[in-house]
Structure 1
Amino acid sequence: MSEFKIIDLRQEDLDILQEMIIEFAKYEDMLDFLQCTKEKLKHSLLKNKFARAFLLKENEKTIGYMIYFYTFSSFWGSGGIYLEDIYIREDFRKKGYGKAVFKFLGEICKKENLKRLDWVCLNDNILGINFYESLNAKHLKQWRNYRLSGENLEKLCDL
């Protein structure tokens, strides 16, 4: 029987994490948007701890990763988790590891009294959509996602 573990990211794991982030970007056909480097990962995840990163392991083999960070809802008056990435390599999908990751996150939410778990999914990721709906996750149709980055973000300083 396969042994599945979720382990905290360590400095020596940065190469494999970056490799899987590239795989994930290819899978989502978003490689052109990728700007992440090993140095940025080290700075953001290990030094400043902007988010928490974990490797997913089957029998000591790295098969995926997840990254999350904490949020706060003024309407709910409570904290939550935003799942930035969940990626499981293709050969290891449909083995229950995605459910194990969500169980892990659910346990964190329960332990820390967090009231919600949020994430986004690309519209064409049918496998992901079906999986999330099997967990009874709700598609929040009333919301739009917005982003400012690069030059447009810098322009805020000139307002």
Structure 2
Amino acid sequence: MTVRPATIDDVPSILGLVHDLAAYEREPDAVEATQGDLVAALFPPSATPTAFAHVAEVDGEVVGMAVWFVSFSTWTGRNGIWLEDLFVRPEHRGAGLGRDLLAALARVCIERGWRRLEWWVLDWNEPSIGFYRGLGATAEDEWTTYRLTGDALTTLAGGTTPSRPA
């Protein structure tokens, strides 16, 4: 078992895991991301990445991922990590890969002097909630997430939508 930063060669596996995660989260048709989208975010040829990923491998096969981006807290005046997605294929759960992926991100935080590693979890996902609590994570139950998408996002932006790159 190995946990390491992702490379561009891992993008097809990461996208496959994103689809597996969407199915697990009862949204199998919600994934719009393409390999090109992931390459552009994780490994842009002439810009700074806007997202990062670590992968878990077993016998050379990518079986887990942690996709994250840099956050910032005005209260601490420091950056942190926002974990967008953590997923380990069901047949590889229980071997410590999820913990190892989170530990890798915790090390990034500590090495860079960042103060927070944060993420969302669906209210119904009791196995994950129990896992996170077992690591010492605490729920931020006083906060409610809001999201603008689609027409509401376009309207707030002034009614124009930029074209999406192919």
TM-score (norm 1): 0.91
Cα distance in structure 1, aligned partners of 2:107 and 2:7: 22
Match of 1:22 in 2: 19
Partner of 1:50: helix, strand, or coil?
A: coil
Partner of 1:143: helix, strand, or coil?
A: coil
Q: Does 1:11 align with 2:16?
A: no
Give matches, 1:1-159, under 5 Å: 4-47=1-44, 48=47, 49-158=49-158
TM-score (norm 2): 0.88
Spell out, residue by residue over 1:72-129, the C-alpha distance to the aligned partner (whole angstroms, 9 max, x if none): 1111221110011111000110111111112111111111011111000011111100
Q: Which runs of 5+ in 2 are unaligned?
A: 160-166
Partner of 1:110: helix, strand, or coil?
A: helix
2:43 partner amino acid: L
Task: Assess if the C-alpha contact under 8 Å between 2:54 and 2:101 holds in 1.
Answer: no
Cα distance in structure 1, aligned partners of 2:96 and 2:35: 29
Q: CA deviation at 1:132?
A: 0.3
Q: CA deviation at 1:10?
A: 2.5
Task: Assess if the C-alpha contact under 8 Å between 2:64 and 2:98 holds in 1.
Answer: no
Q: Which aligned segments of 4 or more residues in structure 1 are displaced greater than 3 angstroms?
A: none
Corresponding pairs, count? 156
Q: CA deviation at 1:42?
A: 1.4
Q: Which runs of 5+ in 1 are unaligned?
A: none
Cα distance in structure 1, aligned partners of 2:111 and 2:8: 27
Partner of 1:114: helix, strand, or coil?
A: coil
Cα distance in structure 2, aligned partners of 1:106 and 1:145: 23
Question: Cα RMSD between the aligned structures?
Answer: 1.4
Partner of 2:128: helix, strand, or coil?
A: helix
Cα distance in structure 2, aligned partners of 1:144 and 1:33: 22
Cα distance in structure 2, aligned partners of 1:116 and 1:58: 28
